[in-house]
Protein backbone atom coordinates (compact mmCIF):
# COMPACT_ATOMS: atom_id res chain seq x y z
CA UNK A 1 0.00 0.00 0.00
CA UNK A 2 1.39 3.39 -0.95
CA UNK A 3 1.81 6.32 1.39
CA UNK A 4 -0.81 8.10 -0.66
CA UNK A 5 -3.51 5.46 -0.27
CA UNK A 6 -2.78 5.17 3.46
CA UNK A 7 -3.25 8.92 3.73
CA UNK A 8 -6.50 8.72 1.75
CA UNK A 9 -7.83 6.05 4.09
CA UNK A 10 -7.15 8.31 7.03
CA UNK A 11 -9.03 11.14 5.36
CA UNK A 12 -11.91 8.82 4.53
CA UNK A 13 -12.48 8.25 8.22
CA UNK A 14 -12.00 11.86 9.22
CA UNK A 15 -14.03 13.85 6.77
CA UNK A 16 -17.80 14.03 7.19
CA UNK A 17 -19.86 13.85 4.00
CA UNK A 18 -20.87 17.51 4.17
CA UNK A 19 -17.24 18.56 4.15
CA UNK A 20 -16.47 16.29 1.21
CA UNK A 21 -19.32 17.81 -0.78
CA UNK A 22 -18.13 21.30 0.04
CA UNK A 23 -14.61 20.47 -1.12
CA UNK A 24 -15.73 18.69 -4.28
CA UNK A 25 -17.80 21.75 -5.14
CA UNK A 26 -14.48 23.62 -5.05
CA UNK A 27 -12.98 20.90 -7.25
CA UNK A 28 -10.64 19.56 -4.64
CA UNK A 29 -9.38 16.34 -6.19
CA UNK A 30 -8.33 14.79 -2.91
CA UNK A 31 -11.89 15.10 -1.64
CA UNK A 32 -13.11 13.21 -4.69
CA UNK A 33 -10.55 10.50 -3.97
CA UNK A 34 -12.00 10.16 -0.49
CA UNK A 35 -15.50 10.01 -1.90
CA UNK A 36 -14.58 7.23 -4.32
CA UNK A 37 -12.91 5.31 -1.55
CA UNK A 38 -15.92 5.69 0.72
CA UNK A 39 -18.80 4.97 -1.65
CA UNK A 40 -17.23 3.58 -4.82
CA UNK A 41 -17.72 -0.02 -3.71
CA UNK A 42 -21.44 0.42 -3.10
CA UNK A 43 -21.88 2.39 -6.31
CA UNK A 44 -20.28 -0.51 -8.16
CA UNK A 45 -22.59 -3.02 -6.47
CA UNK A 46 -25.66 -1.12 -7.66
CA UNK A 47 -24.26 -0.74 -11.18
CA UNK A 48 -23.41 -4.42 -11.43
CA UNK A 49 -26.90 -5.38 -10.31
CA UNK A 50 -28.42 -3.59 -13.29
CA UNK A 51 -25.80 -3.59 -16.05
CA UNK A 52 -25.31 -6.59 -18.26
CA UNK A 53 -21.59 -6.95 -17.77
CA UNK A 54 -18.77 -5.69 -15.62
CA UNK A 55 -17.35 -3.44 -18.30
CA UNK A 56 -20.64 -1.58 -18.62
CA UNK A 57 -20.97 -1.40 -14.85
CA UNK A 58 -17.50 0.04 -14.41
CA UNK A 59 -18.27 2.61 -17.07
CA UNK A 60 -21.31 3.76 -15.13
CA UNK A 61 -19.35 3.85 -11.86
CA UNK A 62 -16.92 6.17 -13.54
CA UNK A 63 -19.79 8.23 -14.98
CA UNK A 64 -21.37 8.68 -11.55
CA UNK A 65 -18.26 10.21 -10.01
CA UNK A 66 -17.54 12.21 -13.14
CA UNK A 67 -21.02 13.69 -12.96
CA UNK A 68 -20.74 14.38 -9.25
CA UNK A 69 -17.41 16.08 -9.84
CA UNK A 70 -19.02 18.33 -12.44
CA UNK A 71 -22.24 19.07 -10.58
CA UNK A 72 -21.76 18.42 -6.88
CA UNK A 73 -23.73 21.57 -6.17
CA UNK A 74 -26.92 19.78 -7.27
CA UNK A 75 -26.77 17.54 -4.20
CA UNK A 76 -29.45 18.64 -1.71
CA UNK A 77 -28.81 17.29 1.81
CA UNK A 78 -32.42 17.73 2.87
CA UNK A 79 -33.47 15.17 0.24
CA UNK A 80 -31.37 12.36 1.67
CA UNK A 81 -27.84 11.32 2.45
CA UNK A 82 -24.90 11.60 0.11
CA UNK A 83 -24.85 7.81 -0.12
CA UNK A 84 -28.49 7.78 -1.27
CA UNK A 85 -27.77 10.48 -3.79
CA UNK A 86 -24.85 8.59 -5.33
CA UNK A 87 -26.54 5.19 -5.30
CA UNK A 88 -29.76 6.60 -6.74
CA UNK A 89 -27.67 8.21 -9.46
CA UNK A 90 -25.87 4.91 -10.02
CA UNK A 91 -29.20 3.13 -10.38
CA UNK A 92 -30.60 5.74 -12.73
CA UNK A 93 -27.50 5.95 -14.92
CA UNK A 94 -27.26 2.17 -15.10
CA UNK A 95 -30.85 2.01 -16.32
CA UNK A 96 -30.09 4.69 -18.90
CA UNK A 97 -27.02 2.79 -20.03
CA UNK A 98 -28.86 -0.50 -20.34
CA UNK A 99 -31.74 1.08 -22.21
CA UNK A 100 -29.33 2.75 -24.57
CA UNK A 101 -27.65 -0.51 -25.46
CA UNK A 102 -31.05 -2.24 -25.52
CA UNK A 103 -29.76 -5.09 -23.48
CA UNK A 104 -32.23 -7.87 -22.91
CA UNK A 105 -30.14 -9.97 -20.60
CA UNK A 106 -29.78 -8.21 -17.36
CA UNK A 107 -28.14 -9.86 -14.49
CA UNK A 108 -30.60 -10.49 -11.72
CA UNK A 109 -28.38 -10.71 -8.74
CA UNK A 110 -30.51 -10.75 -5.68
CA UNK A 111 -28.95 -8.02 -3.70
CA UNK A 112 -31.14 -7.96 -0.69
CA UNK A 113 -30.44 -11.65 -0.24
CA UNK A 114 -26.80 -10.96 -0.94
CA UNK A 115 -26.92 -8.28 1.69
CA UNK A 116 -28.45 -10.60 4.23
CA UNK A 117 -26.25 -13.58 3.49
CA UNK A 118 -22.91 -12.25 2.46
CA UNK A 119 -22.37 -8.67 3.50
CA UNK A 120 -19.87 -9.58 6.19
CA UNK A 121 -17.68 -11.23 3.57
CA UNK A 122 -17.53 -8.07 1.49
CA UNK A 123 -15.16 -5.33 2.39
CA UNK A 124 -16.42 -1.80 2.82
CA UNK A 125 -14.15 0.84 1.47
CA UNK A 126 -14.01 2.79 4.68
CA UNK A 127 -11.55 3.22 7.46
CA UNK A 128 -11.82 0.58 10.20
CA UNK A 129 -13.56 3.03 12.49
CA UNK A 130 -16.13 4.03 9.89
CA UNK A 131 -16.55 0.44 8.79
CA UNK A 132 -17.51 -0.63 12.29
CA UNK A 133 -20.34 1.91 12.39
CA UNK A 134 -21.49 0.97 8.90
CA UNK A 135 -21.53 -2.74 9.70
CA UNK A 136 -23.61 -2.17 12.79
CA UNK A 137 -26.17 -0.09 10.91
CA UNK A 138 -26.22 -2.47 7.96
CA UNK A 139 -26.89 -5.37 10.30
CA UNK A 140 -29.93 -3.59 11.71
CA UNK A 141 -31.23 -2.94 8.20
CA UNK A 142 -30.74 -6.60 7.36
CA UNK A 143 -32.72 -7.66 10.42
CA UNK A 144 -35.49 -5.23 9.51
CA UNK A 145 -35.59 -6.46 5.92
CA UNK A 146 -36.03 -10.01 7.16
CA UNK A 147 -39.18 -8.96 8.99
CA UNK A 148 -40.88 -7.54 5.90
CA UNK A 149 -43.31 -9.73 4.03
CA UNK A 150 -41.91 -11.72 1.12
CA UNK A 151 -43.91 -9.63 -1.35
CA UNK A 152 -42.68 -6.35 0.11
CA UNK A 153 -39.08 -7.53 -0.01
CA UNK A 154 -39.50 -8.72 -3.56
CA UNK A 155 -40.97 -5.41 -4.67
CA UNK A 156 -38.26 -3.38 -2.96
CA UNK A 157 -35.65 -5.57 -4.59
CA UNK A 158 -37.12 -5.16 -8.05
CA UNK A 159 -37.61 -1.43 -7.67
CA UNK A 160 -34.30 -0.53 -6.04
CA UNK A 161 -31.79 -3.15 -7.10
CA UNK A 162 -33.11 -4.48 -10.38
CA UNK A 163 -33.75 -1.00 -11.67
CA UNK A 164 -37.44 -1.45 -12.42
CA UNK A 165 -39.98 1.35 -12.45
CA UNK A 166 -43.18 0.83 -10.48
CA UNK A 167 -44.98 0.09 -13.72
CA UNK A 168 -42.41 -2.56 -14.65
CA UNK A 169 -42.70 -4.14 -11.21
CA UNK A 170 -46.47 -4.29 -11.66
CA UNK A 171 -46.04 -5.94 -15.03
CA UNK A 172 -43.44 -8.42 -13.78
CA UNK A 173 -45.52 -9.50 -10.81
CA UNK A 174 -48.90 -9.24 -12.55
CA UNK A 175 -50.19 -6.91 -9.85
CA UNK A 176 -52.09 -3.64 -10.34
CA UNK A 177 -49.87 -0.55 -10.42
CA UNK A 178 -51.68 1.08 -7.50
CA UNK A 179 -51.09 -2.00 -5.35
CA UNK A 180 -47.39 -1.97 -6.19
CA UNK A 181 -47.07 1.69 -5.22
CA UNK A 182 -48.86 1.08 -1.95
CA UNK A 183 -46.79 -2.00 -1.08
CA UNK A 184 -43.49 -0.28 -1.80
CA UNK A 185 -44.43 2.79 0.17
CA UNK A 186 -45.72 0.79 3.10
CA UNK A 187 -42.71 -1.51 2.93
CA UNK A 188 -40.38 1.46 3.22
CA UNK A 189 -42.36 2.97 6.08
CA UNK A 190 -42.43 -0.37 7.90
CA UNK A 191 -38.70 -0.66 7.39
CA UNK A 192 -38.27 2.65 9.16
CA UNK A 193 -40.55 1.58 11.99
CA UNK A 194 -38.65 -1.69 12.43
CA UNK A 195 -35.32 0.11 12.43
CA UNK A 196 -36.60 2.49 15.07
CA UNK A 197 -37.69 -0.47 17.23
CA UNK A 198 -34.37 -2.23 16.76
CA UNK A 199 -32.55 0.92 17.67
CA UNK A 200 -34.59 1.28 20.88
CA UNK A 201 -33.99 -2.37 21.75
CA UNK A 202 -30.27 -1.88 21.24
CA UNK A 203 -30.21 1.10 23.57
CA UNK A 204 -32.07 -0.74 26.32
CA UNK A 205 -30.04 -3.93 26.14
Partner 1 sequence: MSCDDVQDLLVEYLMGELDSQSLASVERHLASGCNQCQAELQALTQSVDALWQAVPAQKLSEEFQRSILTRACSATSSEITKHTTLASHPASIPQRLYRNPFAQALLAFAAGILFMMYMKPAAKIADDFAASRPPVTKASSNVNLASPQIPASLQMSEKRYESTQLVSLRRKPGSGEPRGYVLCDALTREIHVFCHGLQQPPSGMQYVLWLIGPGIEFRAVDRLDVDAEGVCKAAVRWPAGDFRFATVTLETSSKLNSKPSNDVELVSNAFAPFAR
Alpha-carbon distance of 51 to 97, in angstroms, equals: 8
Q: Work out whether 199 is an interface residue with partner 1 (CB under 8 A).
A: no
DSSP-derived letter for residue 84 is: H
Q: Check: CB of residue 163 under 8 Å from CB of residue 95.
A: yes
Among the listed residues 12, 21, 45, 50, the single contact to partner 1 using CB under 8 A = 45
Q: Per CB under 8 A, which of residues 129..158 are in contact with partner 1?
A: 134, 137-138, 141-142, 144-145, 156
- Least distance (Å) from partner 1 to the CB of residue 96? 6
CB nearer to partner 1: pick between 17 and 106: 17
Residue 145, exposed/middle/buried by CB under 10 A (0-12, 13-18, 19+)? buried
DSSP readout, 10-64? Answer: HHHHHS-HHHHHHHHHTT-HHHHHHHHHHHHHHHHHHHHHHSSSHHHHHHHHHHH
Q: Per CB under 8 A, which of residues 7..26 are in contact with partner 1?
A: 7-8, 11, 23, 26
Among the listed residues 18, 53, 66, 129, the single contact to partner 1 using CB under 8 A = 66
Q: Check: CB of residue 178 under 8 Å from CB of residue 155.
A: no
Q: Per CB under 8 A, which of residues 153..192 are in contact with partner 1?
A: 156, 159-161, 165-166, 178, 181-182, 184-185, 188-189, 191-192
Binding mask 80-119 for partner 1 (x = CB under 8 A): xx-xx--xxx-xxx--xx--x----------xx-xx--xx
Q: Work out whether 127 is an interface residue with partner 1 (CB under 8 A).
A: no
Q: Work out whether 41 is an interface residue with partner 1 (CB under 8 A).
A: yes
Amino acid sequence: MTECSRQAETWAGELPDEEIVRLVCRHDESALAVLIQRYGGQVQTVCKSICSDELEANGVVSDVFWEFWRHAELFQPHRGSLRSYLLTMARSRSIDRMRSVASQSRQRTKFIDATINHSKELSLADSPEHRAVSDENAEEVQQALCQLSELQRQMLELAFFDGMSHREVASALQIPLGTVKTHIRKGLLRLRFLLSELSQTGKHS
